[in-house]
Chain A
Amino acid sequence: MRWSRTAPIALAAVVLHACGIVPPTREGELGRGTFEYVCTNATDSACDDFGGGTFPGAIAVGASFGLRAQSGQVMTAAPAVSGSSGTFRASKPGTFAFYLMNGDEIVDYIHIKFRKATALTASRSEIIAYLSSDSYSWDDRSSFRVVLDDYLGGSFAPQVDIEPAELATWSLDRGVISVDGLQEGSGKVVVRALGLSLSIPLEVRASRWPDAGLDSGGDTDGGLGDGADGDGVGDGAAEGAIDAAAEALLDVTEDVAADEGD
């Protein structure tokens, strides 16, 4: 048996379908082939985090994307679309053909719309970052995604600026932009992509836990005593408090016994 170039794609498709994950696909206009949409990075809203997604109705001008098919190579004749080997970049608005080539024949084709994005949208209206990212929290507000208006497809490379720059740093991982605080204060996160920009208010706080770091004075442990902070400091005071409480309880017990004796 010959291991063809398309075999890994077919195998991946079988595995994904077996797992109930359907990648974004569209039937060819001639009904003879299926085109699979490939997100070139995780900023593309057409793909979800699990290998599934929806074939986008249009691609943003300036964004990149991939197309592949099990039965041949996907190509385009449009000079307005740059790229090769199944990876393309939308260069200008319009409707462009992508065809499935098998040998010297075109098996099928699809037309895809390219449209200029008009706005960037962030998944958060405010970013709150911390100086210490020592623990994960379910209400983490330091990470966000940026999507294009109308869920236009296509991957893009967001340029992120923190203003003022000394306030925080940022990183991009699988389409998620995360902000880590460097010093307390307020500012903004500016994201630029595809000729558009977006500004999000940023606040950097000392810690995710408001009173963390206080080991005395503040009653942060719900009345358990300073010994509960685990640092060993103040353990004697806690024992004293427990002894006092036990003595008070003993006094009450003695009083009750005396009353009953009366």
Chain B
Amino acid sequence: MRRALCLVVALAGCSAPDAVHRITVSTSHAAPGGTLENGRMLEGTAMEIAVAAYTEETTFHDSRRVSRPIEITAGPPERLRVIKGAAPELFILLAASPGPSTLDVRVEGVSAHRDLMIEAQPP
């Protein structure tokens, strides 16, 4: 019944109601002098980030947060690493050395990209 409904919706030109509609990547615990939002981190510091995925419920016209497999990569690896955190949606960024770096997150075909400048420790 549900599949039939999806098929009808898809044929009508709409996305399936349980497909990931958008994702957010945000700082859940800031590093000293840096956040994902300001695009900065200090070398040698750590920062916890959270990824959230949402589906669009066409019935109620709102977004709903869901748990889906998250693909996350950071690099270059000698500069920025990402390691799983204490929950599936949490990740820890580890900044190793100064320079530009990137973070890419993908959840069911929806992706997000962030640029991070890793700065040297002040003298």
Residues of A within 8 A of B (CB): 29-30, 32, 76-81, 92-97, 99, 101, 104-109, 111
Contact = CB atoms under 8 A, between A and B. Distances in A.
Q: What are the nearest 7 A-B pairs in CB distance?
A: A94-B121, A78-B44, A97-B46, A77-B94, A96-B44, A106-B92, A109-B46
B45 A105 contact: no
Interface string B17-52: 000000000000101100000000011111010000
B94 A30 contact: no
Taking chain A's interface residues, is the majority helix, strand, or loop, or is none over half, making it mixed?
strand
B86 A32 contact: yes
Nearest to B122: A94
Given A93-B121, A94-B42, A77 B95 contact: yes
Nearest to A105: B84
A96 B41 CA distance: 11
B92 A78 contact: no
Nearest to A78: B44
A105 B83 contact: yes
B97 interface: yes
Interface of B: 29, 31-32, 42-46, 48, 81, 83-86, 92, 94-97, 121-123
Contacts of A32: 86
Given A77-B81, A99-B92, A30 B44 contact: no
Contacts of B123: 93
B121 A30 contact: no
B44 A94 contact: yes
Nearest to A106: B92
A179 B29 CA distance: 51
Nearest to A114: B121
Contacts of B122: 94
Contact of A106 (B44, B83, B95): B83
B45 A104 contact: no
Contacts of A101: 83
Contacts of A107: 86
7 contacts: A79-B44, A95-B32, A95-B44, A97-B31, A99-B46, A105-B84, A109-B46
A109 B121 contact: no
A58 B14 CA distance: 58
Contact of B29 (A30, A92, A99): A30
Nearest to B94: A77
B45 A97 contact: yes
Contacts of A93: 121, 123
A81 B121 contact: no
Contact of B86 (A29, A80, A92, A105): A105
B121 A92 contact: yes
A32 B48 CA distance: 13
Contacts of B86: 30, 32, 105-108
A109 B123 CA distance: 23
A79 B95 CA distance: 10
Given A29-B29, A94-B121, A105-B84, 12 more contacts: A30-B86, A77-B44, A77-B94, A78-B44, A79-B97, A80-B44, A94-B122, A95-B45, A105-B85, A106-B85, A107-B86, A109-B92
Contacts of B31: 97, 111
Contacts of A94: 42-44, 121-122
